[in-house]
Amino acid sequence: MLILAILSLAVAPTTLVITHGRIADGGGGPLVQGKVLVVQGDTIAAVVDEKGYTPPAGARIIDAKGMVVAPGFIDTHTHADGKILEMPGAETQVRQGITTVLGGQDGSSQWPLGEFLADVERKGSAVNMATTVGFGTIREKAMGADNKRPARPDEIAKMRSLVEAAMREGAFGLSSGLEYEPDSFSTTDEIVEVAKAAKALGGFYISHVRDEGLKVIDSFRELIDIAARAGIPAQISHIKLGSVSAWGRFPEYAAAMKDADARKLHITADCYPYNYWHSTLRVLVLSRRYDDRGEVTRGVDDNGGPENILLARYVPDRSIEGKSLAEIARARKTDPYTLYMDLIRETDPEHRNPAWGDDPEGILGISMREEDIRAFYADPRVMVSSDGAIHGEHPRGAGSFPRFLARYVREGKVVSLEEGIRKMTSLPASVLGLADRGRLATGKKADLVVFDPATVADRSTIQDPWAAPVGLPYVVVNGQVALDNGTPTGARAGRVLRHQTRPSSAP
């Protein structure tokens, strides 16, 4: 019998004892029975044999028969920072076992970063909050509105200074979203110089690469080039072969990674377990020639075609939300490519109705193959992420981690249960340099997940993106129960995690 004893940080300390579970240490080793983890405050104080251990009087006993006790899941690509102050309970994250989130993704971060982290700290949150600094964010600060061009040397110097300041305020590194404006106007040389500023203080580089479709392999190689020239560890965000023209090109990715390994570069990636993505209408036409019918046709068709591109959000006309470009075009008696150009014109940032806000549209694109997703997850360097938001429009925000355990571990057997847990715990912890999280061992922080490997599964869908998963009844954050028998407790035991800047040798 396994007993997990947890002493909380409450004013009147209590002990939580979880019996009959199996321990996954997070490092990929075999599951272990017959041990007790004793947690004092927010830290695992001891790992001892169950034999002879007696729970203290008044302890709460939870029977975890058939379940696994694992380190809390770490999501290295999330947009939870966007609503963490509004919804500090982060229920869609807690319910799927996420205890630590990394925001500031796709080149866009909160600003000023130090003030944001201080606000999260004051308000409290259910999960640990970490962040990167966004390349697009600091690019706009350094260049102003005139940012649709390569940066000048003096502007690059300003960006480097802003990155250094953000790193000293706690950022874990630099993120970019090279498929989006204003990042898309940058040169590789520019990114290298800015990334060097993050490298100098011990940070890493994470990127939504320049093209996830036809030029995806070139985009992977650009990230490798940035890592080599800046001397910085690098991660490919939500890695995918995201269009028809990219399908089946995993062997080219593998060759690029083999080359990176031979050069002793540290390249990782994260992947969410869905074959459809969430973004904006504008990412379909990377040339930005939205009025060029040929470019529009190629962009739409290469991303699955009109039937597979759905309007998740469209503020100017809510009646078309949830419908595909093909459906909307038929209803409006037009063709989907003309419709696309009409929607682009209507939501043009320079001319749209200010009442619609800064983010009036969003789409779901069904354009990835299951075979490619499986191949990525089989790669030991690829971890699990959600790319999700708190109460976001894509079901990944509520279901990614249970879905991975159900679809790719239990059913698909792409990786073992132990390796699957490693991809959600110690692997992302190592990328972030979180020495005290991601493992269940003496001295580590008490971030824990209890789940049933036989039944854990996602339930969120496009129609119901916030639906809670099943088979994951308990989550503990810093020694306090955040999810109790499937119900969020409202505890705000999460911490703001700040990167401890450290000088790094030159590349």
pLDDT tens per residue, range 76-109 = 999 999 999 999 999 999 999 999 999 999 999 9
Q: What is the mean pLDDT of residues 157-164?
A: 98
| Residue 496 region by backbone torsions, left for phi larger than 0, else alpha for psi between -120 and 50, else beta | beta
- Say if CB 151 and CB 159 are below 8 A apart: yes
pLDDT for 3: 43
pLDDT for 99: 98
CA–CA distance, 265 with 282 (Å, rounded to integer): 33
- Residue among 375, 148, 368 nearest 278 (CA): 368
What domains are defined for the chain?
A: 3-71+439-488 (2.30.40.10), 73-277+366-432 (3.20.20.140), 278-365 (no CATH)
CA–CA distance, 290 with 278 (Å, rounded to integer): 19
Q: What is the mean pLDDT of residues 135-145?
A: 98
pLDDT for 462: 85
Residue 484 bridge partners (DSSP): 487
User: What size, in residues, is the chain?
Assistant: 507
Contacts of residue 494, defined as CB under 8 A and 6 or more positions apart, other chains included, come to 90, 99, 124, 125, 126, 127, 128, 129, 477, 478
Mean pLDDT in the chain? 93
pLDDT for 56: 75
Query: How much of the chain, in percent, has pLDDT values that exceed 70?
Result: 95
- Residue among 367, 364, 368, 415 nearest 250 (CA): 368
pLDDT for 352: 86
pLDDT for 211: 95
Least confident stretch, 73-77, 348-352, 416-420: 348-352
Tokens of 100: 């630590």
pTM (two decimals): 0.90
Confidence class for position 37, pLDDT limits 50, 70, 90: low
Comparing 10 with 405, the larger pLDDT belongs to: 405
Confidence class for position 1, pLDDT limits 50, 70, 90: very low
- Say if CB 214 and CB 223 are below 8 A apart: no
Contacts of residue 236, defined as CB under 8 A and 6 or more positions apart, other chains included, come to 206, 207, 209, 220, 223, 267, 268, 269, 270
pLDDT in tens, 451-476: 999 999 999 998 899 999 999 999 99
- How do beta strands 448-451 and 68-71 pair? antiparallel
pLDDT for 356: 93
Over 90: is that where the pLDDT of 55 sits? Answer: no
Confidence class for position 507, pLDDT limits 50, 70, 90: very low
Asked if omega into 349 is within 30° of 0 (cis), the reply is no
Provide DSSP, 353-398: -GGG-S--EEEEEE---HHHHHHHHHSTTEEE-----TT-SSTHHH
Comparing 64 with 318, the larger pLDDT belongs to: 318
Confidence class for position 64, pLDDT limits 50, 70, 90: confident
Confidence class for position 9, pLDDT limits 50, 70, 90: very low
Distance from the Cα of residue 73 to its chain's centroid: 11
Tokens of 399: 């279901």
Residue 474 bridge partners (DSSP): 450
Least confident stretch, 225-239, 346-360, 428-442: 346-360
Over 80: is that where the pLDDT of 17 sits? Answer: no
- Say if CB 420 and CB 404 are below 8 A apart: yes
Distance from the Cα of residue 85 to its chain's centroid: 18
Confidence class for position 506, pLDDT limits 50, 70, 90: very low
Distance from the Cα of residue 22 to its chain's centroid: 27
Over 60: is that where the pLDDT of 15 sits? Answer: yes
**Torsion 355-357-363-364 (CA) sign:** negative
Residue 466 bridge partners (DSSP): none
- Say if CB 132 and CB 170 are below 8 A apart: no
Query: How much of the chain, in percent, has pLDDT values that exceed 90?
Result: 82
pLDDT in tens, 261-302: 999 999 999 999 999 888 899 999 989 899 999 999 999 998
DSSP state of 72: P
Provide DSSP, 428-463: HHHHHT-TTSSS-STTSB--EEEE-TTT-B----SS
Helices (H) and strands (E) in the chain, counts: 14, 23
Tokens of 365: 């694109």
CA–CA distance, 184 with 470 (Å, rounded to integer): 40
Tokens of 426: 């110690």
